[in-house]
Chains A and B, each alone.
Chain A
């Protein structure tokens, strides 16, 4: 019983982490029509930045914010300096994000070496929470809470603000949005940066569970891709539902059938592709 409860909770917490990773990825994909293949690299960079800030005595939450800001700056620079030059060349943009992901991964290896960096959860969240005789890992609950708050905040941003309306207009029909005077290219930068910030935050928040290690980027990127294939590009709800589905499958897959965890991820993707190629909540045809 304890096993199932803990695994369920771990799955939900991992799903929350995946939401931080994939929501920005999905929104940028919906708007810019390209998957940012450096997104896994952004996540890993966030984990390393956070680990470094903690190593030099920063508090955990300072590290989370610092990692978010740092990766956000990298994201803005990347979008402005490189992606912008390839506007209109979708295939070129995707391949450039792939090239950048290799550079990020290799520079991380150079700076932070090949040994994993462990990040302790903040001291006040380490003792487990005891409810009705069951012990819950407090930190994972907090990560889940942060993911939920982010989801609600993103929902309000997207559905209740002028900025959100402009982003949605850009996702649904970019030419028309440009035609009525929405500064779509500025939105590109905003959304890309937002995605980078979320990936950076997520990297540090996930570090106590996942550690920061070389290869974290290529471990996380396929998960984000599968979330977006499942949920549909550009849809916040899709990213939300997809993240928890993938979180459950991946976590239970690893716990119950460690050899087949990746294969289990494959099944929902196949089903969705066969029956709903746009994804469950897709706004744009990919």
Chain B
């Protein structure tokens, strides 16, 4: 446990130091992107890994929060009210989507989240008069939280890092809380949990709302980063990419989705400069990961680590 804490602090310090070591604006911006996607993947993983619910509509919260923030800002609200209202609106939609999707479980849940995500995409794409259709909408300017300017690449990275750290801490606490335990119980033994007097439906719904809340926060960061939102950001492919990040890294762990987000975002950015067929590669990674690495990288590496450690322990015992 103490070693884990040391590792966490070391990684945290390294994350803070990123803009100091890498001076190229391009890579600092890439790091901000990684953090935004990592937040999205970690929030999705609350459903996927801890709740056992595969959602293919998580990208819709990026869209709901971003579009709401842009429209509110354009309607003359200030930065803080529009951010707050956007997240409230998006989370409320999450509550509604949860009500619908949790009418089914397993594959039914997946299909309903997919349909809901596509409907949000369809509205963004078709409702030209409100959302600008395919052209998208511009977000006028980044906010200045507490008067601090976050227009630069490094300062925006630190801003994102703070939000990410708060979110990660919160989600970590949730997974370690009695609620987290009952969420995992509801995943593994829903009937037993029901018999023990837990309201499985409510547990799962609350998890859905929490995931949509942090997904909305990631969406707000997304629109602050890009200063632009278009239907492309909430397509099925985006939701699937986030899902792939969580599965690739290892959905049963807290850190897995972060690892997945780092890998997928880097691969995507590096590959896209040399190779036009990112979607084919994404599909191929999907197929390969599911066929050959169903538990993801982090649990796989941990297994190797334990296998490497185990013989030594035996020697010591002997």
- Report A's interface with B, CB cutoff 8 A: 33-35, 37, 82, 85-86, 89-92, 94-96, 98-103, 105-107, 109-110, 218, 221-222, 225-226, 228-229, 258-263, 265-266, 269-270, 273-274, 277, 285-286
Cα-based distance from A100 to B290 in the complex (angstroms): 12
Q: A106-B279, A261-B122, A270-B100 are in contact. Are A96 and B291 (CB under 8 A)?
A: yes
Chain B residues whose CB sits within 8 angstroms of the CB of A102 once the complex forms: 237, 240, 279-280, 282-283, 286
Chain A residues whose CB sits within 8 angstroms of the CB of B126 once the complex forms: 258-262
Cα-based distance from A148 to B71 in the complex (angstroms): 46
Q: Mark B144-166, 1 if CB is under 8 A from A, else 0.
A: 00000000000000000000000
Chain B residues whose CB sits within 8 angstroms of the CB of A110 once the complex forms: 277, 280
Q: Which of B56, B115, B280, B291 has the most CB of A within 10 A?
A: B115
B interface residue count range (under 10 / 10 to 19 / 20 to 34 / 35 or more):
35 or more
Chain A residues whose CB sits within 8 angstroms of the CB of B34 once the complex forms: none
Chain B residues whose CB sits within 8 angstroms of the CB of A107 once the complex forms: 280
Cα-based distance from A92 to B110 in the complex (angstroms): 12
Chain B residues whose CB sits within 8 angstroms of the CB of A225 once the complex forms: 111, 114-115, 118
B263 within 8 A of partner (CB): no
The answer to whether B290 touches A263, judged by C-beta atoms less than 8 angstroms apart, is no
Cα-based distance from A82 to B110 in the complex (angstroms): 21
Q: Mark B280-300, 1 if CB is under 8 A from A, else 0.
A: 101111110011001000000
**Leading 10 A-B pairs by shortest Cβ distance:** A99-B286, A262-B122, A286-B108, A102-B283, A103-B283, A106-B279, A222-B118, A106-B280, A259-B127, A99-B283
B235 within 8 A of partner (CB): yes
Residue of A nearest to B127 (CB): A259
| Total residue contacts A-B, CB cutoff 8 A | 125
User: 17 A-B residue contacts at CB 8 Å?
Assistant: A35-B110, A35-B111, A95-B54, A95-B247, A102-B283, A106-B280, A221-B236, A222-B118, A222-B119, A222-B122, A229-B112, A262-B119, A262-B123, A273-B103, A274-B103, A277-B108, A286-B111
The answer to whether A265 touches B119, judged by C-beta atoms less than 8 angstroms apart, is yes
B202 within 8 A of partner (CB): no
8 Å CB interface, B21-75 against A: 54, 56
Cα-based distance from A101 to B283 in the complex (angstroms): 7
Q: A103-B283, A106-B280, A262-B119 are in contact. Are A35 and B247 (CB under 8 A)?
A: no
Cα-based distance from A228 to B116 in the complex (angstroms): 14
Cα-based distance from A286 to B110 in the complex (angstroms): 10
The answer to whether B290 touches A95, judged by C-beta atoms less than 8 angstroms apart, is yes
Residue of B nearest to A274 (CB): B103
Q: Which of B119, B243, B283 has the most CB of A within 10 A?
A: B283
- Report B's interface with A, CB cutoff 8 A: 54, 56, 100, 103-104, 106-108, 110-112, 114-116, 118-119, 122-123, 126-130, 235-237, 240, 243, 247, 277-280, 282-287, 290-291, 294
Cα-based distance from A151 to B190 in the complex (angstroms): 39
Q: What DSSP secondary structure best describes chain B's contact surface?
A: helix
Q: A96-B287, A259-B128, A286-B108 are in contact. Are A218 and B236 (CB under 8 A)?
A: yes
Chain A residues whose CB sits within 8 angstroms of the CB of B130 once the complex forms: 259
Residue of A nearest to B56 (CB): A98
- Write the nearest CB–CB distance from A121 to chain B, whole angstroms: 26
Residue of B nearest to A41 (CB): B283
Q: A286-B106, A286-B107 are in contact. Are A91 and B283 (CB under 8 A)?
A: no
Q: Which of B129, B279, B290 has the most CB of A within 10 A?
A: B290
The answer to whether B280 touches A277, judged by C-beta atoms less than 8 angstroms apart, is no
Residue of A nearest to B280 (CB): A106
Give 15 A-B pairs besides A95-B54, A269-B100, A273-B112 with Cβ atoms closer than 8 angstroms. A35-B111, A96-B287, A99-B284, A99-B286, A102-B280, A103-B280, A110-B280, A218-B118, A222-B114, A225-B118, A260-B123, A262-B126, A265-B119, A277-B103, A286-B107
The answer to whether A106 touches B106, judged by C-beta atoms less than 8 angstroms apart, is no
Chain B residues whose CB sits within 8 angstroms of the CB of A260 once the complex forms: 123, 126-127
The answer to whether B286 touches A91, judged by C-beta atoms less than 8 angstroms apart, is no
Residue of A nearest to B125 (CB): A262
Cα-based distance from A95 to B241 in the complex (angstroms): 11
The answer to whether B287 touches A269, judged by C-beta atoms less than 8 angstroms apart, is no
The answer to whether B235 touches A218, judged by C-beta atoms less than 8 angstroms apart, is yes
